[in-house]
Amino acid sequence: MQSLGIVSRLFPLVLSGEKTSTIRWRETMIVPGPMRYICDDDPTMTAVVMVHRCTSMPLSDAAGFVGREEDWPDPVMLHGMREHYPDITLSDIVQVVEHGPPVRDVS
């Protein structure tokens, strides 16, 4: 099964179903179907979600694509993404992975 690591502070949002997308840069390409999130600080904590769409686009378009442009204006988006990817720019192509709530929690 495909999988992605996720920082601990975001893992509860996946479990609650509030987090239904992730933006990745230069990582394993994800495809529609089941995907396991693995908590970076505790790999025994996992959640399986069903990915329904994966779209590549410039980072500058990602917030609007997932309906979060008011929450993530360009400077906020760039600052947040640089926590994980220090060299990323707004023009870099990212993969936006959209999914539903957990279908199975295997924590």
| Rounded Cα gap, residues 41 and 39, in angstroms | 6
Sequence spans of domains, the chain: 2-105
Whether the full predicted model's pTM is greater than 0.75, yes or no, is yes
From the list 51, 20, 19, 23, the residue with the least C-alpha distance to 35 is 51
From the list 14, 68, 77, 78, the residue with the least C-alpha distance to 40 is 14
pLDDT in tens, 49-83: 999 999 999 999 999 999 999 999 999 999 999 99
User: What value does the mean pLDDT of the chain take?
Assistant: 94
CATH 3.40.50.261 is the classification of domain 2-105: no
Residue 8 one-letter amino acid: S
